[in-house]
Amino acid sequence: MSSLKKQALSEWTVKDFMIPAEKVAHVQLGNPVEHALLVLVESGYSSVPVLDRDFKYLGTIGKTPILKSVIGIERFEMEKLSDIAVEEVMNTTLPTLSPDTDFVTGLKEVIDHAFLCVVDGEGHFLGILTRRAILKQVLKSLYI
Ligand code: 2BA
């Protein structure tokens, strides 16, 4: 990639590509994983953010960890889904991004994660940066 193209990419920040919070499916803390699984299946996504009542980002929750939490000896014990809380299964280890994070940092982060949550200085959820949005921009930049 030419230095001109690299320069063009480095001028973008995460907020230029972010899917805004109001368009992102999410799960609220305090819900049972049964509800989270419903949100995941209905939205079609494999994993979505977990937020508290004040819309602060807490982690993400995915189909696979939920199903793992109800694996019994010979079957899925689906009746347990209503007894397990979202906080018992959610992933709290993912990095977050600021809206002003530069494009290249965002690009590096989506190598390992399908999406990352974007938060403000107080931890309020602003949206997500997806691998798709980043790849679309990289492709566009190749043809500048
Ligand atoms: P996945 O759910 O594993 O989806 C992988 C890719 O499959 C998505 O990549 C997208 O290209 C496609 N896809 C899956 N479900 C879709 C749907 N209902 N509508 C349209 N396309 C769909 P990305 O777009 O890069 O998204 C990466 C990850 O970000 C997704 O992984 C999902 O975990 C999360 N995500 C994306 N958009 C979301 C939204 N509006 N609400 C909540 N989570 C979202």
Strand positions, DSSP E, 1-144: 19-20, 27-28, 47-51, 57-62, 115-119, 125-130
Q: What is the pLDDT of residue 143?
A: 80
**pLDDT of 10 above 90:** no
Around ligand 1, the residues with Cβ closer than 6 Å are: 19, 23-25, 43-48, 114-115, 128, 130-132
pLDDT tens digit sequence for 71-125:
999 999 999 999 999 999 999 999 999 999 999 999 999 999 999 999 999 999 9
Domain harbouring 48, CATH code = 3.10.580.10
d(CA 137, CA 74): 46
- Ligand 1 centre from 53 Cα, in Å? 24
**pLDDT of 144 above 70:** no
Structural domains of the chain, count: 1
d(CA 49, CA 28): 9
The boundaries of the domain holding residue 7 are: 1-143
**pLDDT of 11 above 90:** no
